[in-house]
Amino acid sequence: MAMITTFSFPTKIIFGPGALDHLSAAVHEIGGKRPLLVTDKGVIASGIVEQIQTKLKQANLNSAIFDEVASNPVEANVAAGVACYKDATCDCLIAVGGGSPLDMGKAIALMSTHAWPMEQYDDKIDGWQRITSNVPRVITIPTTAGTGSEVGRSAVITLKSTQRKTVIFSPNLMPRVALCDPMLTLKLPPKLTAATGMDALTHCLEAYVSKGYHPMCDGIALQGLKLIARSLVRAVEHGEDLEARSDMMMAASMGAVAFQKGLGVCHSLAHPLSTIAGLHHGLANAIMLPYVLAFNQSAVAERLADVAAALTGDRTRNAADIISEMNKRIGIPARLSEVGVRREQIPALTEQAFEDACHLLNPRPVAKEDLRALYEAAM
């Protein structure tokens, strides 16, 4: 093995029911005095933000709130967030919510100290080289179990110039502390539990089969799949099952740790389904995944047998079939046409998917025609 690879797992994770009680200690730990809470209106309606503000006040910490975060965040949200951060003279960020507010927290942190236009930080053009360590510190509090953004080092934002979901990636964007409290997910409705859970599953699965040498991430990905196999259906069917919710929250973080290795074509197909057809990110991944696995089968048969073993204990089972059955069980449709995607959108979807960087690490090389064929198969 002549190649040198870098492995890093540095985010401090405080995990478990009641982890939220460690918030003010975490703010002190990162040297923060005036945090900006980045969240969205749904999280505010759930009462979680109020709970957080009370805890901060008890520790004599005055916070400001920014909640203009679209469900698929756009560049204008980032600019508004930076203005809010500066106006309120904040010195750190607490991002609370699903993937969108968590990604926004990181993007606001970046753009509060970095002057290039956002497209200059696009991972596709090695934008990470422009990202210095001069980024305010971020604490993350996930309220869904899916994106794993709480421990991830990337933010996905739709840019104004391209209207494309763009990955901004740098170890300097990594949150300092993640407070993972599964109690915050007990009230998540079944549909959202299913879609976000399948995002976590897709992260573990795509990371495990993606190109690259990363046995540490491989191990984490397989264990994440085992937790999801044990608990996703339970979390969907019995939302108040704390053990199932804990497994899912852990698996979500594991998925994001694992995908520092890379993702694959499923995420390239999913990103345009959000920007062009408005699909939830997890739902888009869930629908596309069986078709992607059928496409990848010949290139990574051994690895997909490992996946089948992690999910069912049976290496001889077909991974695509397992995922299709799982989708059905948790109420996810098998076809894009069932969620309002139209055939005439396929050319635009295909163009954007090809521009997306995730498929570059897919185990089987992906041509533009393959992307079109995958969308058509899923119609």
- The distance of closest approach from Cβ of residue 203 to Fe ion in the complex, given in angstroms and rounded to an integer, is 6
Give the residue with the Cβ less far from Fe ion, 103 or 306. Answer: 103
**Based on CB atoms, which residue is closest to Fe ion, 199 or 247?**
199
Task: Pick between residue 90 and residue 256 the one whose CB is nearest to Fe ion.
Answer: 256
Q: Interface residues for Fe ion in 105-124 (CB under 5 A)?
A: none
Q: Return the number of the residue (94 or 258) whose C-beta is nearest Fe ion.
A: 258
**Closest distance between Fe ion and the C-beta of residue 331, in Å?**
19
Q: Given strand 35-38, what is the order of strands in its sheet?
A: 12-15, 177-180, 138-142, 92-97, 35-38, 64-66
Look at residue 169 and give its three-state secondary structure.
strand
Give the nearest distance from C-beta 202 to Fe ion in angstroms. 6
**Residue number with the smallest Cβ distance to Fe ion:** 199
Q: How many helices (H) and strands (E) does the chain have?
A: 14, 8
| Count of Cβ atoms closer than 10 Å to residue 266 Cβ | 28
CA dist list (Å): 267 to 156, 193, 194, 207, 330 = 12, 19, 17, 11, 20
Q: What is the DSSP string of 238-302?
A: -TT-HHHHHHHHHHHHHHHHHTTS---HHHHHHHHHHHTT---HHHHHHHHHHHHHHHHTTTSHH
Structure tokens at 229: 């196999």
Minimum distance from CB of 215 to Fe ion (Å)? 22
State which of positions 186-205 bind Fe ion (CB under 5 A): 199
Q: CB nearer to Fe ion: give 199 or 218.
A: 199
356: helix, strand or coil? coil
State which of positions 269-288 bind Fe ion (CB under 5 A): none
State the nearest-atom distance from the C-beta of 28 to Fe ion, in Å.
32
Q: For Fe ion, which is the closer residue by CB, 32 or 264?
A: 264
CB of 283 to Fe ion, least distance (A): 11
Residue 209's closest CA among 94, 301, 89? 301
Size of interface with Fe ion, in residues (CB under 5 A):
1
Q: Do 49 and 84 touch, CB atoms closer than 8 A? A: no
Of the pair 32, 255, the CB lying nearest Fe ion is at 255
- As measured in angstroms, the least distance from the Cβ of 342 to Fe ion is 23
CB 30 within 8 A of CB 88: no
CB of 281 to Fe ion, least distance (A): 6
Question: Using an 8 Å Cβ cutoff, are 304 and 297 in contact?
Answer: yes
Any contact of residue 75 with Fe ion (CB under 5 A)? no
Residue placing its CB nearer to Fe ion in the complex, 131 or 195: 195
Q: Which residues bind Fe ion (CB under 5 A)?
A: 199
